[in-house]
Amino acid sequence: MGEKFTEWKDFEKELNITPEQEMEIRLEMDIIKATIEARRRSNLTQRDLSKKTGITQSVIARIEKCVNSPQTNTLIKLLYPMGYTLKVVPLDEMK
């Protein structure tokens, strides 16, 4: 993977990820985006959320920048004080 790519599709081919892996990546991104939106709707900074949850601001920042993949218990700790939780829903309800 030393060459530079000008098109995403070329880079994507080089990654050689399965459709299942791609779906997992998209789901994680959607969850992170929803968590950021919940924080913003709650008018909280990362520092405010850190104080409410005990999760350091730097960990919250790394999650929001997609540097770290959050564990389920971390997501729940972040969401609960803002009045949110995780829920499993059928895929056809997400359309």
Domains of the chain by residue range: 8-86
Cα 33 to Cα 13: distance, rounded to the nearest angstrom: 25
Question: Whose CA is closest to 91, among 41, 18, 17, 26?
Answer: 26
Could you say which of 3.50.50.60, 3.40.50.2300, 1.10.260.40, 2.70.98.40 is the CATH number of the domain covering 8-86?
A: 1.10.260.40
Question: Whose CA is closest to 47, among 60, 34, 30, 66?
Answer: 60
pLDDT tens profile 12-30: 777 888 888 888 999 999 9
Do 83 and 76 form a contact (C-beta atoms < 8 A)? no
pTM: 0.79
Q: What is the 3-state secondary structure (H, E, C) of 8-30?
A: HHHHHHHHCCCHHHHHHHHHHHH
Q: Which two tokens stand for residue 55?
A: 């999760």
pLDDT tens profile 45-67: 999 999 999 999 999 999 999 99
